């Protein structure tokens, strides 16, 4: 088991200047830092990335990068100014722009690959893209980009699966989450559209991969082919791909809602079943917003993750854990986390009480 933490470049630079900060992090048994080197909303300074790499190397931490490639479709705290030349904002089935989310275009991939070469140059061995790397909002129907250009591209590529007179309206009934009542032609169209959208995320992963920088994707909670995320296809395209399971329940209210711990575990196990090699799987041990999941609930969450068999505990955004109590909790429970092995499978969950872990 290894504990990782995500931290912005500024957090690391400021932390290095704050007496005791590095010691607090190290004493908590955090061994690796994922630092934010790419953000769709603005260019990150290469000078600062190099500076942070140097600081972390000197302090003895493993270093990886995290990037926000497309913008967070549910808003969160990422603002919406994501336009670069040759990129376009994703559109929904009503042709309305989906705020905070770009469609994946060839130019976007070219621009992002450039950043992967920058990481290589700086000696950063891995990038895990944040869970905004998808083409759909949380849950819901089958999604994608329904703008005129993307519909035309789809119609060209999937000619044989497309009915005469194909238009945006042909897709409207077939993308519903529940396929009940669809005829054979509609089911073929549904499958073709899903494949088309999944190919975009898969192509992103394949075409931004650069030798010497391991590529990875953080999958959102319950993220799947509806959102363009086809984990098996991504594994085929990038055999050494890093994955993060999607967990949700980032605050006490959601974490303590009856049934949610089991939902969390089920979501993790379903993702893990597709992701393969456990050494490349990371958790989503997130506290959001600031301080919203108490250290005790974070402890329980990590125990659930360990009982799912996750080897890389990934604390998402230590900026939101700005309280020594979190680091004391990690320190005090490290041995227990470490000695806890996989107990849960999708078939045995009825025999566990997830409240007392
Ligand atoms: Zn489009």
Q: What is the pLDDT of residues 210-242, one digit of tens each?
A: 999 999 999 999 999 999 999 999 999 999 999
User: Does the pLDDT value for residue 198 go beyond 70?
Assistant: yes
CA of residue 81 to ligand 1 center, whole Å:
17
CA 214 distance to own-chain centroid:
15
Pairwise CA distance, residues 219 & 130, whole Å: 8
Mean pLDDT in residue range 246-256: 96
SS3 category, 64: strand
DSSP state of 143: -
Please identify every residue whose CB atom is under 5 Å from ligand 1, which is an ion: 103, 145, 147, 150
User: Does the pLDDT value for residue 83 go beyond 60?
Assistant: no
CA of residue 9 to ligand 1 center, whole Å:
32
Burial class (CB in 10 A: 0-12, 13-18, 19+), 32: middle
Catalogue the E-assigned strands of 245-289.
281-282, 285-286
pTM of the model: 0.96
CA of residue 234 to ligand 1 center, whole Å:
21
In this predicted structure, which of 89-103, 172-186, 203-217 has the lowest mean pLDDT? 89-103
CA of residue 285 to ligand 1 center, whole Å:
33
> What is the token pair recorded at 130?
């944040």
Q: Which pLDDT value is given to residue 118?
A: 97
Above pLDDT 70, what percent of the chain? Answer: 97
CA of residue 174 to ligand 1 center, whole Å:
18
Q: Which pLDDT value is given to residue 148?
A: 97
CA of residue 191 to ligand 1 center, whole Å:
18
Mean pLDDT in residue range 274-278: 97
DSSP state of 134: S
CA of residue 61 to ligand 1 center, whole Å:
40
For the chain, what is the mean pLDDT?
95
CB-CB contact of 135 with 103 (8 Å) = yes
**pLDDT of 113-164, one tens digit each?**
999 999 999 999 999 999 999 999 999 999 999 999 999 999 999 998 898 8
- The per-residue b/e assignment along 225-262, b for 16 or more CB within 10 angstroms, e otherwise, is bbbbbbbebbbebbeebbbbbbbbbbbbebbeeeeebb
pLDDT-based confidence at 52, cuts 50/70/90? very high
Q: Which of 201, 202, 199, 170 is nearest to 187 (CA)?
A: 170
CA of residue 227 to ligand 1 center, whole Å:
14
CA of residue 30 to ligand 1 center, whole Å:
41
- Per-domain boundaries in the chain: 2-351
Burial class (CB in 10 A: 0-12, 13-18, 19+), 341: exposed
User: Does the pLDDT value for residue 289 go beyond 60?
Assistant: yes
CA of residue 103 to ligand 1 center, whole Å:
6
- CATH, range 2-351: 3.20.20.80
pLDDT-based confidence at 75, cuts 50/70/90? low
**pLDDT of 168-181, one tens digit each?**
999 999 999 999 99
User: Does the pLDDT value for residue 103 go beyond 80?
Assistant: yes
CA distances from 331 to 3, 296, 316, 338 (A): 11, 13, 17, 11
CA of residue 43 to ligand 1 center, whole Å:
23
Phi-psi category of residue 222: left, alpha or beta, with phi > 0 → left and psi -120 to 50 → alpha:
left
User: Does the pLDDT value for residue 80 go beyond 70?
Assistant: no
């Amino acid at each position: 088991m290894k504990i990782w933490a995500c931290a912005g470049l500024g957090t690391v630079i400021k932390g290095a200047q704050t007496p005791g900060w590095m010691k607090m992090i190290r004493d908590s048994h955090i061994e690796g830092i994922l630092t934010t080197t790419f953000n769709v909303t603005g260019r990150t300074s290469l000078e600062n990335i190099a500076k942070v790499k140097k600081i972390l190397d000197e302090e003895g931490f493993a270093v990886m990068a995290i990037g926000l490639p497309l913008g967070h479709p549910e808003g969160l705290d990422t603002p919406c100014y994501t336009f670069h030349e040759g990129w376009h904002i994703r559109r929904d089935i009503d042709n309305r722009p989906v705020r905070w989310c770009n469609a994946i275009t060839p130019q976007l991939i070219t621009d992002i690959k450039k950043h992967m070469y920058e990481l290589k140059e700086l000696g950063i061995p891995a990038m895990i893209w944040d869970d905004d790397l998808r083409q759909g909002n949380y849950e819901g129907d089958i999604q994608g980009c329904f703008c005129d250009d993307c519909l035309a591209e789809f119609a060209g590529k999937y000619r044989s699966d497309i009915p005469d007179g194909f238009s945006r309206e042909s897709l409207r009934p077939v993308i519903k989450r529940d396929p009940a009542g669809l005829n054979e032609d509609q089911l073929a169209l549904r499958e073709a559209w899903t494949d088309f959208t999944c190919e975009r995320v898969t192509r992103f992963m394949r075409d931004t991969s650069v030798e010497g920088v391991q590529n990875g994707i953080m999958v959102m909670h319950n993220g799947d082919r509806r959102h363009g995320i086809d984990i098996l296809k991504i594994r085929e395209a990038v055999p050494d791909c890093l994955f993060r399971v999607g967990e949700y329940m980032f605050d006490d209210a959601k974490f303590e809602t009856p049934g949610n711990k089991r939902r969390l575990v089920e979501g993790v196990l379903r993702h893990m079943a597709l992701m393969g090699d456990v050494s490349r799987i990371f958790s989503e041990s997130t506290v959001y917003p600031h301080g919203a999941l108490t250290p005790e609930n974070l402890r329980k969450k990590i125990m659930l993750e360990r009982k799912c068999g996750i080897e890389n505990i990934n604390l998402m955004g230590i900026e939101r854990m700005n309280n020594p109590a979190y680091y004391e909790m990690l320190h005090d429970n490290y041995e227990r986390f470490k000695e806890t092995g996989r107990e849960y499978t999708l078939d045995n969950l009825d025999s566990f009480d997830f409240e007392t872990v």
